Structure 1
Amino acid sequence: MAPVPIADDLFTWPDDEPRLIGGRCAECGTHVFPLRAGCARCGAAAVERALLSRSGTLWTWTSQGFPPKAPFRGEFAGTDPFEPWLVGVIELPGQLRVESLITGCTQDELEFGMPMRLVTMPFRTDEDGQEIITFAFSPEGADHA
């Protein structure tokens, strides 16, 4: 069974070079993610589908240092013993900043402004055995399995 995305219209799939699916307001030019019907900046309803940049820079980050409570279902967080994971804000130049999981590195390897790229990663397996994937960002040039 082929993997499926965690949500429809969140990122391009299947795709060797996935892109986030956002929107761009036809009135004021503001980008949004995820795609929505209206512009949060000017209120216009003229938001058009737009593929966002695959590359950006690390604006800030933190680590999730304790196991999440239900209803979180991400299997990557279910290791025993628990291993913290990274969450960051990636600035996509000229578009917006997006919150994302960070993978392919340790916290000690992260630096403000470092180049990042969009990747996909396993999130969980559903009750039918279907692998569910999500997006994440990884340092540019990092090996990502």
Structure 2
Amino acid sequence: MGETHTAPALEAGRCSHCSTVAFPVTRVCSRCAGTAMSPFTVSARGTVWAYTVQRFAPKSPPYVPPPDGFSPFAVGYVELPEGIRIEAVLDCHDFDELDDGAPVTLVATVPVPRFATDAYLKETR
């Protein structure tokens, strides 16, 4: 039997009163305090808005270091066409790929949103 893979997706909410988009979905709009928030799936493609590189291991617990030791990783904000910015882990081969405005694609949602550069996806798929 073949496995079926579902593309990862993130859900945001749009206020029915003022059209403000919130991520993650909230019950109350942060702009107008309206309570009619409609959930919808946001774009899986976005651009790097800003990033930094985590060059030291986070405190443990809750961080559990991998068996082969800590490796630096990028975290940043991805701007989506819906006008929201989402904090995420950013997968890449070289941190220079992450210039502001670099296109990225959603690759995972658990435990946190994770986006990857086009170059990274091309070499890993």
- Partner in structure 1 of residue 81 of structure 2: 93
Residue-by-residue CA offset, 1:42-93 (whole Å, 9 max, x unaligned):
1111111111111111111001121111343465xx3544211110100001
**Structure 2, gaps ≥5 residues long:** none
Structure (1/2) with the larger helix percentage: 2
Q: Which residue of 3, 8, 19 maps to 1:18?
A: 8
The code of the aligned residue for 1:118 comes to L
* TM-score (normalised: structure 1): 0.71
Q: Which residue of 102, 105, 113 maps to 1:135?
A: 113
Q: Using the alignment, how far apart are the partners of 1:88 and 1:69 within structure 2?
A: 19
- Partner in structure 2 of residue 103 of structure 1: 91
Residues 64, 85 of structure 1: 8 Å contact kept: yes
- Partner in structure 1 of residue 41 of structure 2: 51
The code of the aligned residue for 1:142 comes to Y
Residues 105, 138 of structure 1: 8 Å contact kept: no
* TM-score (normalised: structure 2): 0.81
Secondary structure at 1:98's aligned position in 2? strand
Q: Using the alignment, how far apart are the partners of 2:5 and 2:33 within structure 1?
A: 32
**Structure 1, gaps ≥5 residues long:** 1-13, 122-131
Q: Using the alignment, how far apart are the partners of 1:115 and 1:34 within structure 2?
A: 22
In angstroms, what is the RMSD of aligned CA positions?
A: 2.3
- Tell me, yes or no, if structure 1 residue 112 matches structure 2 residue 100: yes
Structure 1 moving runs of 4+ over 4 Å:
none
Secondary structure at 2:104's aligned position in 1? strand
Task: Provide the identity percentage.
Answer: 34
Residues 30, 95 of structure 1: 8 Å contact kept: no
